């Protein structure tokens, strides 16, 4: 059985008596996993991150990291943890290398680690460039390089792709998967983007209004809502719907020229298209809606 790097039991937190932020949260982050902590803005993700990094301390419940209570291990535990909470703090007038040198000096880490982490994050050729000339994706990778200087076993990353363009998001996603696979790093990452969590995480916890709604593997999450909705544009949709319902009982009319049919999975789409052709149903357009995304939206609406 894989050991848990993070164990949270009955965690509750509030800034004031009548405004609870977290309500009896229970989380288990397995060693070697990329755990996506997913939820809309304001759900309690950043508060959880601040409790894990001991920025916030007054809470109910238990937080264990590496098998021991967090409060019994601070501050020395942070030699084993790299954390990036909210926006990265960079000195824009300094080069990437100089930014990292500030951290090595502060934490008494050998300077020889700087070229190593620059290579890890794909910035080995940009170390002499001032940070103000970095793209947003490069700045985020430099910030992640800062968390790697101490050779941590666990990364805590709060919304690391927030505000990035598609290219920057891809860069950061590929970097995190690489760090997990090549270095064996356990990564706990918060995000409000289901699409990104799907692409990189092995496990997920979904939080909404301070309550945990789901925890499990990505495969288990996908099975929660495997239905695949197909919106079909045709002519005289009401007439075509009568033919479709001969085989697809759940089909329903959407508009004069559209109906929707629900399939068990996207793999059934070609089968439905073949059925429509055999029934002489004109297919002007078919648009798929992801069942998992719809389920997530309904869960957190």
What average pLDDT score do residues 5-24 get?
A: 92
Hey, what are 243's tokens?
């033919």
* pLDDT tens-place string over residues 176-185: 999 999 999 9
Hey, what are 231's tokens?
């919106």
What average pLDDT score do residues 43-57 get?
A: 92
Q: Report the alpha-carbon distance of residue 4 to residue 28 in Å, rounded.
A: 6
Higher pLDDT, 86 or 139: 139
Q: Residue 50: is its pLDDT beyond 80?
A: yes
The C-alpha angle 152, 154, 159, rounded to 5 degrees, equals 115
* pLDDT tens-place string over residues 232-253: 999 999 999 999 998 998 899 9
Give the pLDDT of residue 294: 67
Give the pLDDT of residue 17: 79
- Helices and strands, number each (H, E), in the chain: 10, 14
Q: Residue 4: is its pLDDT beyond 60?
A: yes
Cα 252 from chain centroid (whole Å): 34
Which letter, b or e, does each residue of 186-204 get, where b requires 16 or more Cβ atoms within 10 Å of its Cβ? Answer: bbbbbbbebebbbebbebb
What confidence category does residue 164 fall into, taking pLDDT thresholds of 50, 70 and 90?
confident
What confidence category does residue 154 fall into, taking pLDDT thresholds of 50, 70 and 90?
very high
Domain boundaries, the chain: 4-224, 228-300
What average pLDDT score do residues 146-151 get?
A: 93
Q: Residue 201: is its pLDDT beyond 80?
A: yes
Q: Report the alpha-carbon distance of residue 55 to residue 47 in Å, rounded.
A: 9
What average pLDDT score do residues 201-209 get?
A: 93
Give the pLDDT of residue 290: 62
Q: Report the alpha-carbon distance of residue 191 to residue 103 in Å, rounded.
A: 26
The length of the chain, given as a count of residues: 301
- Average pLDDT over all residues of the chain: 90
Give the pLDDT of residue 195: 83
Is residue 251 a contact partner of residue 260, using CB atoms and an 8 Å limit? yes
Whole-number percent of the chain with pLDDT over 90: 68
* pLDDT tens-place string over residues 111-131: 999 999 999 999 999 999 999
Please say whether the structural domain 228-300 has been given the CATH code 2.60.40.
no
Hey, what are 218's tokens?
């990505």
Whole-number percent of the chain with pLDDT over 70: 95
What confidence category does residue 102 fall into, taking pLDDT thresholds of 50, 70 and 90?
very high
Q: Residue 301: is its pLDDT beyond 80?
A: no
Element (H, E) at 119: helix 113-120
Which of 8-12, 46-50, 170-174, 265-269 bottoms out in mean pLDDT, i.e. has the lowest? 265-269
What confidence category does residue 204 fall into, taking pLDDT thresholds of 50, 70 and 90?
very high
* pLDDT tens-place string over residues 280-290: 999 999 987 76
For residue 99, give the DSSP letter: H
What average pLDDT score do residues 216-238 get?
A: 82
CATH of domain 4-224: 3.40.50.300
Nearest to 155 by CA among 89, 218, 78, 217: 78
What confidence category does residue 52 fall into, taking pLDDT thresholds of 50, 70 and 90?
very high
What confidence category does residue 292 fall into, taking pLDDT thresholds of 50, 70 and 90?
low
């Amino acid at each position: 059985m894989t050991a848990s790097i993070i164990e949270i039991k009955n965690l509750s937190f509030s800034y004031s008596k009548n405004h609870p932020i977290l309500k009896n949260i229970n989380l288990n982050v397995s060693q070697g996993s990329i755990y996506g902590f997913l939820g809309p803005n304001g759900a309690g993700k950043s508060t959880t991150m601040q409790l894990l990094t001991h920025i916030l301390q007054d809470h109910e419940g238990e937080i264990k990291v590496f098998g021991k209570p967090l409060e019994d291990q601070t501050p020395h535990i942070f030699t084993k943890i790299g954390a990036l909470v909210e926006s990265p703090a960079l000195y824009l007038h300094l080069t990437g290398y100089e930014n990292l040198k500030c951290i090595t000096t502060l934490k008494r880490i050998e300077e020889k680690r700087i070229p190593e982490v620059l290579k890890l994050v794909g910035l080995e050729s940009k170390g002499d460039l001032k940070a103000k000339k970095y793209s947003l994706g490069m700045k985020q990778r430099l910030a992640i390089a800062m968390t790697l200087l101490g050779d941590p076993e666990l990364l805590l990353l709060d919304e690391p792709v927030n505000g990035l363009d598609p290219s920057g998001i891809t860069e950061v996603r590929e970097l995190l998967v690489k760090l997990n696979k090549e270095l064996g790093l356990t990564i706990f990452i918060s995000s409000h983007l289901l699409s990104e969590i799907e692409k990189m995480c092995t496990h997920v916890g979904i939080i909404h209004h301070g309550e945990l709604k789901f925890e499990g593997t990505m495969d288990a999450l996908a099975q929660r809502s495997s239905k695949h909705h197909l919106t079909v544009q045709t002519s005289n949709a009401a007439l075509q719907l009568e033919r479709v319902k001969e085989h697809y009982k759940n089909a329903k009319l959407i508009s004069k020229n559209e109906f929707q049919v629900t399939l068990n999975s996207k793999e059934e789409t070609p089968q439905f298209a073949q059925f429509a052709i055999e029934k002489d149903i004109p297919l002007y357009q078919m648009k798929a809606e992801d069942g998992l995304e719809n389920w997530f939206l309904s869960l957190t609406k």
